[in-house]
Structure 1
Amino acid sequence: MPETRHVDRVVRASQSPAAVTRLAASWRRSMVKHGLDPARPEQLRRMTEQETALRIERMGDFLAVARPQIDQLFQLVCATGCNVLLTDADGIVLEQRVNEADAPVFRDWGLWQGVDWSEPAEGTNGIGTCLAEGRQVTIHRDEHFYARNTALSCIDAPIWGPDGRLLGALDVSSARADHTERWNGLIAAQVTQSARQIEAAFFRASFPGARIISAQIPGQAPGAEDALLLVAVDRDDIAIGANRAARRAYGLEKEGALRPRPASDLLGREDSATGFEKAERAAVIRALTRAEGNVSAAARALGIGRATLYRRMQRLGIDGNPGRLSQT
């Protein structure tokens, strides 16, 4: 029987302490660490309506930022019968988008608001394994731990908060028999891109009033996890926040509050300009160009004072010749 063959395969691959693939390592975690039995699936863990509502309330600011991106992602995949889910860091589904005609199928599978899809609850699956390993994953059909989930294809990307900690997972799931691994690859790229857009939007929203310096790492795809570096700088040019990619690139605190430090110490000088400084210089020049050289107008567009802009122009080596730039 297919279910028996699947269980035997999972057990054999999980028996080696030195599991050689990430999939086998996840199966082993499911059996050894979480004590799950692939032949005896646990019942779905469902939060009560009150428990789910409390989690949604706690994540309210984040969800408000994430919802437009979830809507946009759903518009791209809804015609293929996919279900779009957003979970918290515990694997509890907080948001979902699904066509009315497809809703009964996903409700039966348990891919629904308030259900726990962590690895300790469901073994190897897209949401749980993404959260356990902190990386983009695709779990296609019989790669799932439980045989009952082997008709599903689950494509996930982690979402990291402005403090460097894991916030949740963005998931696109399909139960269609014609859903191929090639199609998974196309969806995976979009899921990852959407997750990065949610991260960037929430980072900006988390530092109201701060100037956000961003830099795209050359050679990296726009949706790659470490492609976009973000640093929040206050009106005194103190770096007060950095996203996970920037923390890793600059050797900053891995998680938690960022120790304030002068932006110039973090971003470097012109003689060894970093990606951040180049991005800042380009932003200032664009603002001055749009303002036709009017420093006051450029400063207003950047959300800073004229004196602050002059200091930055001097630090960045931007020509402040009064003959070319208006002083008003």
Structure 2
Amino acid sequence: MVFGFLILLLPLVVIFGIMVGSVKISPGEVITQLITWGNTKTVMSKIIWNLRIPRTFGAVLGGAALTVSGILLQALFRNPLAEPYILGISSGATLGMALSILAGIGFSQSPYGYMTLAILGAFFVTIMILSVARFAKSSVVLLLVGLMFAYIFSSIVNVLITFAPDEKVKNFTLWTLGSFSGLTWTQLKVLFFPTTIGLVLAFLCSKQLNASLLGEEYAKNLGINPKRFRFYTVAVASILTASITAFAGPISFVGLAVPHITRLMLGSSDHRYLLPAGMLLGASFTVLADTGARTLAAPVELPISVLTSIVGAPIVIILLLKKGIK
């Protein structure tokens, strides 16, 4: 029943996200455009295909990727508070964007330059963390190393903010709040490949994730190499997190809250079901949050992280209390 609900929910949410905006579009028009693949060259067609669909599909990919990344890290660290940005990956992308926006480094004076430096920053941290993962004796060490990277890069960003002009600081601050606005088809295509690869790799390790919930010794008895598994899990989570952060900024709470909501809906922590259900729910949740961000205070657009936190936190609290979890 839960899977049936989530499978039906996602296309309805996607159509709703395409419909709603400064220009109201009927459900029939949206469905017609999707069926005809945008053959009519009307103003409405251009709004749907050039603005609404790339942004909505970007939110689908972002929500799915952040949720799956959160599930992976919560299983790896056996910590309900683990989330995609806990390893400092977001801080690396933020430093890349800070060098672009605040310092105006090199080729960064274009949208693709911004994204390139953000990706390079995120993957630099990923490489460093993966290097540590090969030698770390426990997941706790890996967690602490990620936090130290986050502190180091946050300090560098604060130095750049101190000496940057006010207008650049404003632009950078807006990026850090997260948004899928302005996402183009080219950017969406670039985002699609690493995200899809990361999701597939996550599904392939569902049995190992189930074993890891019972501890590293139990996993060893089943023939799982803990160091290799940590390396694999961190790599997949890093790919998913870095890709979304580079294109949409750091989006908070999705990777933390949606995995818990999914577990409570399923009544299970079996990753064979948790991963696909979380992917569907995370995609729907993020599309709804993005739609609310651009419509609730129109013509002003709210940061998506504001809505994901305001809406997501009470839902988790209510579900936890309802289930009697202390």
TM-score range, shorter chain: under 0.3
Higher helix share: 2
Higher strand share: 1
**TM-score (ref. length: structure 1):** 0.22
Q: Which has the higher contact order (CA 8 A, sep 6+)?
A: 2
Q: Which of the two has higher C-alpha Rg?
A: 1
